[in-house]
Amino acid sequence: MTITIHDLAAFKAQGRRFVVLTAYDHPTARILDRAGVPVLLVGDSVGRNVLGYSNELPVTMQEMLHHVRAVARGAERAMVVADLPFMSYQASLAEGVRNAGRLIKEGGAHAVKLEGPHDELVHRLSEIGIPVMAHVGLTPQSVHGLGGYRVQGRGEAAQRVLEQARQLEKAGAFAIVLEAVPAALGAEITRALRIPTIGIGAGPDTDAQVLVLHDLLGLNEELPRFAKRYAELASVIDAAVRAFAADVERGAFPDEEHSYR
Ligand code: KIV
């Protein structure tokens, strides 16, 4: 049985914390799904972590669909949430509805995520049965407008972020990502909302935590302050590739075991 928006609501009601991880391809989706991760986020962070872009802005609908399909094919139990990429929903409500529909219909996602105070679009999508995960605080699609990847909601700005979160809940969002906000604000929004809050750089008191898988696995050289490495996969890959090359160079691979008669 796939995890649903009702399961996530129940987790919050039971005080049960959960995790969300980014996934961009089929094998990692399968591994995360089997490890019991309830929500896989095909984030537009695919642009930085997989496609070699310097930020999220160039990511297209085509690219998102390509990765969402691969992840959806690898997820048996996890809910798959797909990011609406930059300029796929900002210009008009109709375009936002159409593109959200594509991520569900052509991509196989169960829900979409969008950034910022787009209450009307969240309301419309919820009305037609497309669950929406909202995202406030540091919203990477507005990186230029924010003047860089910086903490949001300090001082007087806290009320604005709290109010945005309240409005998005009212509009029908089933969960909300809080990115790079002070821990006290993360806790306050979590108390104020009925829907689960998913923190990334929002302190320890949100209902769930999300990390970029490539940060967690040690595939990225630089980490944001809020991310933590749980493995050193870059070194593991480096060592494996060097061992293979050394075997080939000294004629040890392929050996008899790995050759056909
Ligand atoms: O695109 C993404 O991966 C995200 C998460 C970091 C929340 O939006």
> How many CB atoms are closer than 10 A to CB 28?
19
Q: For ligand 1, atom 6, name the residue with the nearest CA.
A: 212
* Chain centroid to CA 108: 16
Quote the ligand 1 centre to 177 CA distance (angstroms): 8
Predicted local distance difference test score (pLDDT) of residue 1: 87
C-alpha of residue 22 to centroid of ligand 1, in Å: 7
95 belongs to the catalytic site? no
User: 166, 193 in Cβ contact below 8 A?
Assistant: yes
**45 close to ligand 1 (CB < 6 Angstrom):** yes
Mean pLDDT value across residues 17-22:
98
51, two tokens: 């496609």
Residue 76: pLDDT over 90: yes
Q: Is 180 in the pocket of ligand 1 (CB under 6 A)?
A: no
CATH architecture, domain 5-230? Alpha-Beta Barrel (3.20)
Q: Does the pTM exceed 0.85?
A: yes
pLDDT mean across residues, the chain: 98
**210 within ligand 1 shell (Cβ under 6 A):** yes
CB 226 within 8 A of CB 177: no
Q: What are phi and psi of 217, to 5 degrees?
A: -90, -5
In tens, the pLDDT along 205-240 reads 999 999 999 999 999 999 999 999 999 999 999 999
Domain coordinates in residue numbering, the chain: 5-230
Q: Per residue in 115-145, pLDDT tens?
A: 999 999 999 999 999 999 999 999 999 999 9
Across 94-106, average pLDDT: 98
Which residues have C-beta within 8 Å of that of residue 38, sequence separation ≥ 6?
3, 7, 8, 11, 18, 19, 20, 77, 78, 79
Q: Which pLDDT value is given to residue 9?
A: 98
Which of the following is catalytic: 179, 221, 222, 257? 179
Q: Give the per-residue pLDDT at 57.
A: 98
Residue 80 pLDDT class (50, 70, 90 cuts): very high
Asked whether the predicted pLDDT for residue 32 surpasses 90, the reply is: yes
Alpha-carbon span 119 to 187, nearest angstrom: 22
